[in-house]
């Protein structure tokens, strides 16, 4: 892809005004916002199960208007700073695209699962704030949603390429576009003033060994994405499990035995997510 075409694509991506989310999550948050007894923690927990709502909240709180650009990396912290009325405004302005709900369901589950997996990996690696790693996992495929909204014809070509050539979604993106959703994630993170560690988790999860400043978070998201694919929980757009990069394990000082323990823990937590029952 030429640089001109890449810039053109970037401009289209960054013009995104409205991202779809799932009606069941939206309904659940709306009900909590109307309930005077609901706590911020409860609201944060439900928003934290949806990549689009989480991204909107983090975009808002990191905007220069609030004076915290590049500093707020968790939904809980964002909600405390924004307050209930701003959250209400975000929810009201969020659209539901019924035509995409079916396609998004698998990606939604994959993203929630990856967030949980990243939390488990971060805890095992001994990091103090597993929540930020979890958010990076939740948002790692946001570029796929944005592409489906802003570049639907190209996204369709990617989907067809996955099927016809038996490629991973990431390989198909590069075949069609010349780059992947990781690049779109980097554009969005820059444009929305997201914290630099979140940006690297979102944009280096396929190549964690190249993350220049925050290799830990990139390695966590890489491993989290791998583990959730092993579980076949949701769908990242293909049914393949990408190769696990040994550099990622080395970066976090984890061994194969640690991964087995994380898988056990993740299995238990996924059962709880299935029980959340957003239907």
* Statement: residue 1 has pLDDT above 70: no
**Are 33 and 138 part of one and the same domain?**
no
DSSP 278: -
**Domain end call among 92, 126, 157:** 92
Kindly report the CA angle at 82 between 276 and 198, in degrees rounded to 5? 70
Tokens 């990243």 found at: 118
Residues 239 and 141 in one domain: yes
Instruction: Tell me what the mean pLDDT of segment 126-144 comes to.
Output: 94
Residues 189 and 103 in one domain: yes
For residue 279, is pLDDT > 50?
A: no
Q: Are 86 and 103 members of one domain?
A: no
Domain carrying residue 61: 17-92
Mean pLDDT value across residues 173-182: 92
Q: What is the CATH number of the domain that holds 264?
A: 1.10.3210.10
3-state secondary structure of 236: coil
Same structural domain, 169 and 47: no
The pLDDT of residue 135: 95
Contacts of 204 (CB under 8 A, 6+ apart): 182, 210, 211, 215, 218, 221, 222
Confidence of residue 69 (pLDDT cuts 50, 70, 90): confident
Residues 130 and 244 occupy one common structural domain:
yes
Same-domain pairing of 141 and 267: yes
For the chain, the domain total comes to 2
Residue 251, classed as helix, strand or coil, is helix
Task: Give pLDDT tens digits for 221-239.
Answer: 999 999 999 998 888 888 7
Helices (DSSP H) in the chain: which residue ranges? 3-14, 23-34, 40-47, 51-61, 75-82, 84-92, 98-124, 130-139, 142-150, 152-165, 169-177, 181-191, 196-203, 215-231, 246-252, 256-276
Quick one: 178 and 201 in the same domain? yes
Q: 79 with 104, same domain?
A: no
- Reported residue count of the chain is 279
**Residue 58 shares a structural domain with residue 150:** no
3-state secondary structure of 20: strand
The phi and psi torsions of 35 (rounded to 5 degrees) equal -95, 110
Mean pLDDT computed over 73-85:
92
**Residue 205 pLDDT > 90:** yes
pLDDT tens, 100-132?
A: 666 678 888 899 999 999 999 999 999 988 999
Q: What is the pLDDT of residues 186-195, one digit of tens each?
A: 999 999 999 9
Express each pLDDT in 4-34 by its tens digit.
667 888 889 889 887 878 788 888 999 999 9
């Amino acid at each position: 892809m030429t640089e001109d075409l890449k810039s053109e694509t970037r401009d289209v991506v960054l013009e995104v005004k409205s991202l779809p989310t799932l009606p069941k999550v939206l309904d659940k948050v709306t009900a909590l916002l109307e309930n005077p007894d609901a706590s911020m923690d409860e609201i944060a927990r439900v928003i934290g199960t949806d990549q689009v709502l989480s991204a909107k909240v983090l975009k808002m709180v990191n905007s220069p208007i609030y004076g915290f650009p590049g500093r707020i990396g968790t939904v809980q912290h964002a909600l405390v700073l924004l307050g209930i009325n701003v959250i209400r405004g975000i929810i009201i302005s969020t659209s539901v695209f019924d035509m995409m709900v079916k396609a998004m369901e698998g990606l939604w589950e994959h993203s929630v699962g990856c967030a949980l997996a990243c939390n488990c990996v971060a805890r095992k690696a001994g990091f103090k704030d597993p929540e930020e790693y979890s958010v990076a996992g939740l948002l790692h495929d946001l570029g796929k949603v944005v592409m489906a909204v802003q570049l639907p014809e190209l996204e369709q070509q990617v989907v067809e390429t996955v099927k016809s050539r038996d490629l991973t979604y990431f390989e198909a993106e590069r075949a069609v576009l010349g780059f992947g959703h990781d690049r779109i994630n980097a554009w969005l993170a820059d444009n929305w003033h997201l914290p630099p560690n979140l940006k690297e988790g979102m944009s280096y999860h396929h190549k964690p060994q190249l993350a220049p400043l925050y290799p830990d978070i990139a390695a966590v998201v890489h491993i989290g994405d791998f583990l959730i694919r092993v579980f076949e929980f949701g769908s990242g757009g293909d049914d393949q499990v990408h190769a696990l990069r040994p550099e990622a394990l080395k970066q976090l000082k984890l061994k194969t035995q640690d991964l087995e323990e994380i898988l056990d823990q993740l299995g238990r937590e996924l059962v709880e997510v299935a029980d959340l029952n957003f239907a």
